Amino acid sequence: MAPFFGKLCLLPLPMDSFSFDSVSHFLQQVEGAKNRKRQAIDEGTEPFLTDPSTFAMSPEIAKLVDEEVEKYGDEALKQIGIVALGKWADYHQGILQEHIDNDAMAESLMTLRDISSLNIALRLLEEIGSFGGDEDYRRAMRQQINQAILEKLEEAGRDPEEVFNGDSEENYHNLL
């Protein structure tokens, strides 16, 4: 019988071709095979991924970055880098405050040195141009950010004029 699209086609297999006593046994065999594969992969990537000069990100984030670069060119990389460094600097600011609160002078100075380095890196990135310019990227981000803010305000039952009228001390950056 020839297979047809949209129809189920079963292939006759003798039951003695399976060597599993139960579903549980089958799942154990599958898990064991996967563990062996995971171990082989771990051993194969270990020299590369434990090297301190290797920098990596999760495959999910790498995919998102690739999609942004495909849409907007290298400006996306610049913006992502600046945002990431800014978040890292903010994180260090919080740790610095903890060190100050705990009178940890040596740790405070080391953290302050890191913050200074991050700020230098941010300034350097800001000065680098991108091949495609930033107009398309900024327009797209403005639309996406504005939509996200609108959704947040609607969820909270608030009106945009409350937040953006200039009288409010609220930091609208927290809406994202």
Is residue 19 scored above 80 in pLDDT?
no
Q: How far apart are CA 146 and CA 54, in angstroms?
A: 37
> Per residue in 119-157, pLDDT tens?
999 999 999 988 876 788 889 999 999 999 899 889 988
- The tens digit of pLDDT for each residue in 75-117 reads 999 999 999 999 999 999 999 999 999 999 999 999 999 999 9
What confidence category does residue 4 fall into, taking pLDDT thresholds of 50, 70 and 90? very low
Per-residue three-class SS string for the chain: CCCCCCCCCCCCCCHHHCCCCCHHHHHHHHHHHHHHHHHHHHHHHHHHHCCCCCCCCCHHHHHHHHHHHHHHCHHHHHHHHHHHHHHHHHHHHHHHHHHHHCCCHHHHHHHHHHHHHHHHHHHHHHHCCCCCCCHHHHHHHHHHHHHHHHHHHHHHCCCHHHHHCCCCCCCHHHHC
Q: How does pLDDT run across 24-60, given as a tens digit for each residue?
A: 777 777 788 888 888 888 899 898 888 888 888 899 9
The pTM of the full predicted model, rounded to 2 decimals, is 0.66
